[in-house]
Amino acid sequence: MLSNDAHVGRLARDAVVLAHQAIVSTVACALVGSQCSKTHIVPVPVDRGFNSLARPVDLQLDIYLEVYPEDRPFVVDMDEFMYELPPNSSVSSPFGWTVFMSVHRNPNFNRLVPLYPRADLLPSAVRGSFLIVKSSPSGIAVDVEDHDLPIIKEVIIECLLSRAPRTGS
């Protein structure tokens, strides 16, 4: 899925229409599209049945990300595309943060993440798109706001560093 600024705008409009038709709420999340020039705050519909007190995993992520393989199995290993920032991380925030990563065979190089502070610590090029969900201390998904964008950069770098292969003895 090509994630450039124009495409993200169309997807955001589609998400609002989908939520309206399904009579579900949305949560504002941050989207770092692989070919975007900026981080977008986008509406993500809540899955049916989880409209109140929705957790990050209760959102319709696949509007923005390819998170399921083409031959979608009945059981999906969420660890392949989801990262929850641990409470003891170097990121200082009273909120929880969950990063969902696109999963596809040939993802595009991400243009934004290499520009983030500490990106030079990453061992390899960054590929794909990321959807970041903010949650309350009780684990309920809450809206991302503009003032969260600097923290989101830290969260993505922390996520990628934690998933990098370890070297040494």
Q: What is the pLDDT of residues 116-169, one digit of tens each?
A: 999 999 998 999 999 999 999 999 999 999 999 999 999 999 999 988 776 554
Q: What is the pLDDT of residues 50-81, one digit of tens each?
A: 767 898 989 998 899 886 656 655 555 565 67
The arithmetic mean of pLDDT across residues 80-106, rounded, is: 85
In-domain check, residue 113: yes
Q: Which two tokens stand for residue 41?
A: 């705050």
> Which residues, other chains included, contact 151 with Cβ-Cβ below 8 Å and sequence gap of 6+?
91, 93, 97
Question: What range does the domain containing 135 cover?
Answer: 5-163
Report residue 35: phi and psi, to 5°: -115, 20
In-domain check, residue 41: yes
In-domain check, residue 84: yes
Q: Quick one: DSSP state of residue 132?
A: E
Report residue 153: phi and psi, to 5°: -60, -45
| Segment among 6-15, 17-26, 79-88, 90-99 with least mean pLDDT | 79-88
In-domain check, residue 12: yes
Q: What is the pLDDT of residues 27-46, one digit of tens each?
A: 999 999 999 999 999 999 99
Q: What is the pLDDT of residue 89?
A: 83
Distance CA 141, CA 117 (A): 26
Structural domain count, the chain: 1
In-domain check, residue 61: yes
> Which residues, other chains included, contact 163 with Cβ-Cβ below 8 Å and sequence gap of 6+?
83
In-domain check, residue 80: yes
In-domain check, residue 94: yes
In-domain check, residue 169: no
